[in-house]
Structure 1
Amino acid sequence: MMKLMFASDIHGSLPATERILELFAKSDARWLVILGDVLNHGPRNALPQGYAPAEVAGLLNEQARRIIAVRGNCDSEVDQMLLHFPITAPWQQVLLDERRLFLTHGHLFGQDNVPPLEAGDVLVYGHTHIPLAEKRGDVIHFNPGSVSIPKGGFVASYGMLEDNELRVIALNDQRVIAQLAINP
């Protein structure tokens, strides 16, 4: 199975971007999937540590060919002007042999508005900044949390899909926060 890394809710944090790209380089993941809210912190969030959206864009652009991204509620056309990979799609899909990953930010489709999916498909979203890996009914819900502004008492985190297992991993100490096996 393809190895994927997931990052969400970067919100223009340069230290979080540097860290996730360092981990991505070491991970052997095929794609870095960014689940929205890339450059802007949004009106409801405090500025993240090291807020530097132009520098974040520059670093991400170096990996543009290896990024799959969706638009978050804080992303805009102005942000797209800085980025060399598309971020304006509200959702994307990755098709695996046995299932589909439906990638979205979480403000249009998410835990309370699940798109029509087949049993065993995975709904992958951010937005809440709260990590999650669990089966709800026939659909698997996966949220890697936020790399820059964690909420709900959680630490900054990212996600991995490897060897039929979804994991949410702490950004700094690599501790597994949540995990779920997805059998083929």
Structure 2
Amino acid sequence: MIYLIASDIHGSAYFTHKLIDAYMKNDASRLILLGDILYHGPRNDLPLEYNPKKTYALLNMYRDSILCVRGNCDAEVDQMVLEFPLMADYATLFLEELGGRMIYLTHGHHFNADNLPPMQKGDILINGHTHLPVAKEENGFVFLNPGSISIPKGGWPNSYILYKDRTFTVLDFEDNVLMSLTISG
């Protein structure tokens, strides 16, 4: 099973194309989006090729493969044009290959490494929001953040996470590995 995990698209049609290209190239079975899909927000500059209409049209073509949670820039009006559920604050996954660990997916503006959701030691928290990639184990938990595909911060490149064979790899769009974390049994 291969998952591509991305966050903070912020309406960039340019980087949505790059995201879909990476999704197809890696033969991923799921595209997991961690919110902030169409709107750029008042604190961000406009991303490259800001075009929410084109962005949602591209994503809707993959609606049956998308698992999405709501970000702080997402609203009910966005759900009116997106053909996949957007309004959940979080989602959970359990992958047998990870030994029953729970994967908690959220945007990160409510729950994050500093404010944990209901989790047990060994569980995995994947969130976006900060636009900074993370892949680390700390205090018995695993923390992952794909960064942002359209408005990265902290000098990081545009990035996403690819999950395959128990390994979460943060990549840029030139296939450079930024960080990687393999989950043991």
After TM superposition, the score normalised by the length of structure 1 is 0.97
Code of the aligned partner of 1:18: H
Deviation at residue 73 of structure 1 after TM alignment = 0.2
SS in 1 for 2:178: strand
Code of the aligned partner of 2:178: I
Q: Which residue among 125, 128, 131 is the counterpart of 2:130?
A: 128
Which stretch has the larger CA shift, 69-78 or 114-123? 114-123
Aligned residues: 182
Q: Which residue among 121, 141, 161 is the counterpart of 1:159?
A: 161
- Residues 120-176 of structure 1, C-alpha deviation per residue, up to 9 Å, x if partnerless? 2110000000000000111100000000000011000000111111110012x1101
The answer for the alignment partner of 2:113 in structure 1 is: 111
Code of the aligned partner of 2:61: E
- Residues 88-129 of structure 1, C-alpha deviation per residue, up to 9 Å, x if partnerless? 000001111221110000001112111121222110000000
SS in 2 for 1:179: strand
CA distance in 1 between partners of 2:65 and 2:109 (Å): 24
The answer for the alignment partner of 2:71 in structure 1 is: 72
Contiguous gaps of at least 5 residues in structure 1 = none
The answer for the alignment partner of 1:50 in structure 2 is: 49
CA distance in 1 between partners of 2:77 and 2:113 (Å): 28
Any residues of structure 2 matched to 1:1-184 within 5 Å, and which?
2-97=1-96, 98=99, 99-171=101-173, 173-184=174-185
CA distance in 2 between partners of 1:36 and 1:9 (Å): 6
Code of the aligned partner of 2:87: T
CA distance in 2 between partners of 1:179 and 1:106 (Å): 20
SS in 2 for 1:18: helix
SS in 1 for 2:59: helix
CA distance in 2 between partners of 1:111 and 1:146 (Å): 17
SS in 2 for 1:59: helix
- Residues 17-43 of structure 1, C-alpha deviation per residue, up to 9 Å, x if partnerless? 000001101112110000000000000
CA distance in 2 between partners of 1:18 and 1:162 (Å): 22
After TM superposition, the score normalised by the length of structure 2 is 0.96
CA distance in 2 between partners of 1:136 and 1:117 (Å): 13
CA distance in 2 between partners of 1:91 and 1:174 (Å): 28
Contiguous gaps of at least 5 residues in structure 2 = none
Identity of aligned residues (%): 46
